[in-house]
Amino acid sequence: MTGFARHELTGSFGQLTCELRSVNHRFLESGFRLPDELRGVETELRARLGARLKRGKIDCTIHLRPAGGGARELQLDPATVTQITARLRELAALLPKGPTVNLMDVLRWPGVIRDEPIDSDSLQQAGLELFDGALTELAAARDREGRRLQELIEQRCSGVAEIVAQLRQRLPELETRMRARLEQRVAELPTQVDPARIEQEVVLLLQRLDVAEELDRLHGHIEETRRVMGAAEPAGRRLDFLMQELNREANTLSSKSQDLDSTRFAVDLKVLIEQMREQVQNVE
């Protein structure tokens, strides 16, 4: 399911920004782009994501903008500078004609400039809170999309149920037509045929072409689809399975079709089921 959320949080550490993007995917797949200061909580972020969402490709990006717009106060370590200066004098005495040392080279020496300390625990806790807020917003956006998808799928379910009802009403008519067609062909034969044998053939033919069982299963799958959509738990994978079963029954119905109207009904069924299957791919 698709969705987007963006949250910001400001503290003594600076400003944190979290962006979450979600697109359709059969399973849950997540990617995180985090500042180095928050790498330690990536496992916890993934766990919290998995507890809230079950499906979709989720991209999470968190930016850290240090306090002061990114500018840091340069703090020299006098002890380190003193040691470096002493070593440079010793080296100059040994190599009087050696190259001179640039002051910028001294500043680049590890430990000369001290990094301003950041409260790591406070920053990580803020990152978790920020992520929770963005995740709640993303889940709400996906929920709104889910309700729209539910309305679309329900419309198709109603269409399938209507076709099933129409086909069920036509069953007696189809049986009458089939019997009349067989009797007409028997009557055209040059020899007499035992009426009992004719009746036996009619029964066998009706059994092979009977679609009542398929209609019952279609009706049952539609009712189950509605039940699953109305339940609280994630429904995407179960709906995937139901779409496969609906399509299987529609194919069987099409193979048993004996007239143009039945064929048309079967085609309409398959169109509606395919439309539902496409929408179900977006459902969590």
Ramachandran angles phi, psi of 60, nearest 5°: -120, 130
CA dist 259 to 76, 185, 241, 255, 263, Å? 92, 17, 30, 11, 6
The mean pLDDT value for 67-88 works out to 68
CB 283, CB 2: distance < 8 Å: no
- How far, in Å, CA of 161 to CA of 276, rounded? 13
- How far, in Å, CA of 246 to CA of 226, rounded? 13
Q: How confident is the model at residue 205 (pLDDT cuts 50, 70, 90)?
A: low
CB 118, CB 12: distance < 8 Å: no
Q: Report which DSSP code applies to 190.
A: S
Query: For a pLDDT cut of 90, what percent of the chain falls above it?
Result: 29
More confident residue, 226 or 146: 226
Angle at Cα 168 formed by Cα 163 and Cα 172, nearest 5°?
A: 140
Ramachandran angles phi, psi of 65, nearest 5°: -110, 105
Report the largest interatomic distance among the alpha carbons of the chain, rounded to a whole angstrom.
Answer: 131
Give the predicted TM-score (pTM) of the model.
0.60
Q: For residue 121, give both structure tokens.
A: 């625990």
| Domain locations in the chain as residue ranges | 3-70+123-143, 75-114, 147-280
Residue 122 has pLDDT above 80, yes or no: yes
- State residue 111's pLDDT score: 63
The mean pLDDT value for 88-112 works out to 69
- How far, in Å, CA of 205 to CA of 96, rounded? 112
- State residue 68's pLDDT score: 58
The third-level CATH classification (topology) of the domain covering 3-70+123-143 is: Ribosomal Protein S5; domain 2 (3.30.230)
- What does the mean pLDDT of the chain come to? 81
Ranges of beta strands (E only) in 125-248 are: none
- State residue 112's pLDDT score: 62
Q: Report which DSSP code applies to 178.
A: H
